[in-house]
Amino acid sequence: MKLSLYMLALCLGLMPLLALAQPSTTVRGPDRLTQLESRVHRLERSYKSLAGPAFLAGVIAALWAQNTRRNAWLWFILGALFVPITLIVLLYLNARDRRPPPSAAPSAPG
């Protein structure tokens, strides 16, 4: 189950990067302006489609930060700007927070 959650978070984090991948073609002549206009239009659409996942990642990061008594606004901004990196860091920090400290481990009788 843990692996499934990690994979889901990784996929959600990498989705915005896939939206930016575009084939690169060079056109010479009068069609160059038309091609440039279409590329600008595609970029505008891709950035609009990135706003939703970025906001969602920011909200998830802020909720986690609030529950662990960290700065929620900072994590919201980091989550929205650096979606894949922030989600990976959140998974790592959450796993580390759930581990019991070494001093809490039962000692061997002896």
Q: Which pLDDT value is given to residue 71?
A: 94
The yes-or-no verdict on residue 76 having pLDDT over 90 is yes
The yes-or-no verdict on residue 63 having pLDDT over 80 is yes
Residue 48 vs residues 44, 52, 54: alpha-carbon distances, Å: 6, 8, 10
Contact present, 85 and 57 (Cβ < 8 Å): no
User: What distance in Å separates the CA atoms of residue 37 and residue 53, rounded to the nearest whole number?
Assistant: 26
Mean pLDDT of all residues in 51-75: 90
The yes-or-no verdict on residue 4 having pLDDT over 90 is no
State pLDDT tens for residues 13-42: 766 666 665 555 665 666 888 888 888 888
Per-residue pLDDT band for 73 (boundaries 50, 70, 90) equals very high
Nearest to 9 by CA among 65, 89, 99, 98: 89
Express as a percent the part of the chain with pLDDT over 70. 64
Nearest-5° Cα angle at 19, 17 to 50: 85
Contact present, 57 and 77 (Cβ < 8 Å): no
